[in-house]
Structure 1
Amino acid sequence: MKHIATPAPAATGRHHFVAPDARGFAHVETWIFDLDNTLYSHEAKVWPQIDERITLYVANMFGIDGMSARALQKHYYLKYGTTLRALMTEHAIDPYAFMDFVHDIDHRHIELNPVLGAAIERLPGRKLILTNGSRRHAEAVAGKLGILDHFEDVFDLADADFTPKPNREAYDIFLKRHAVDPARSAMFEDIAKNLRAPHDLGMTTTLVVPRTPDPYRESFEQEAVAEPHVDYITDDLAGFLVERTPA
């Protein structure tokens, strides 16, 4: 595993990295995007609110203080991939109630992103959102960004039978549901491990990293890591897409 501290600068002044054997985009017919921390930057202050709501849910559920709830939440995250999966597996909670609670956030810091919207609109073919969050959350955030109308559909955690990325099963259900050919698809994600299954399936993969460190996320979740299943790395999704689509 190779850590890319400073990917080669692109013409935009941002940073992009291309693997020597990277798959291209000329054949791509379906463009698949993760939502959280991929389609918006951490300045939107979305994820810190969700993270705090998850901690609060755990605290209320077990009747424990915030520090203990935080520790338990992170234990569950590392063991199961998501806190929700842990609570469903070990405590049989109602996943819909959990999702409604943790996504009840303030969207005031999310700003319209016309450059990203125009870049997505110009992409040739289908565009889909594949998220470990809820459809309502994805539609609310994408709507505030001004990009929702450019997407054919949202595939959320409920659609995946609450099996989260990076589990291969989640991608298999998505591909079947939307009749997507992975060999003619591209996947954009903010966490490197979530690109392993898409790459194995034949997709062109792009890791989206923050331009500046996000203090509210684990460091390993935002590293620019060059691994065999990562074709591209960028800290400027809009600029990256603009460079790969016709004017």
Structure 2
Amino acid sequence: MKQQARFKRINGRKRYKEIAFRAVKVLSSVGTLGVIVATSYSFLISDTKLVYEKPYGRSYVFSLINDSPADIIVEKFKISYPDQPVIAKTTKDIYVLPKDGGLEMPGGNISTVPIVEFHELDGETISAKDTHKFRLPPLNSRDYLQLEAAIFEITYEVTPKNKLLSYIDKTLKFLALRNEEESLRYIVVENYWIPTRSKSPYEAIRIACRDNDMLSRGDLCTR
């Protein structure tokens, strides 16, 4: 008897999964309904905005703005440094030492990029209609070295804290009616974070110098 009861429960679960799968297929086929739901959801839960505020010493202050009437959770916040030529300068006099037929800078010729190790926002909750300010680490680990121009990419994913809204959010993302994550590319020039679509720092510099009067008077733009 116990085995029969167990067998019935397993069948019930399978049947429930089949019904759920069919329901998803029906909803997926009704494109108009999906668009209406997605539009209504976007009206209620607006996209989170990432805003660059100002430099802070060797660090940078950003804001993540939640304009929606619901609390959100930052599921992921990732900064990457794509392969690119290094454009840098020293900010003070340094002493280099001869080594193996070449020259070695203080601390060695290899430095790290602390900003890509930033994960403090992961799991952070941002209240409804609130702005969360945070500070990003320096672009490099040497205090005497400054990147004159560099491209960085920021990818982040947020979800509503409310369970019902979170379920709707995941469903819309599954149906490709809402982006799973937001991706932004910046060219950092003279401590300014400027949005760009270019993957080449030289092309991004050219466009930034053309479009920004403050940058156009700088050394990098007048070379």
TM-score bracket, normalised by the shorter chain, equals under 0.3
* Larger CA Rg, structure 1 vs 2: 2
Q: Per residue, is there more helix in 1 or in 2?
A: 1
TM-score (norm 2): 0.25
Identify which of structures 1 and 2 has the higher relative contact order when contacts are C-alpha pairs closer than 8 Å and 6+ apart.
Answer: 1
TM-score (norm 1): 0.23
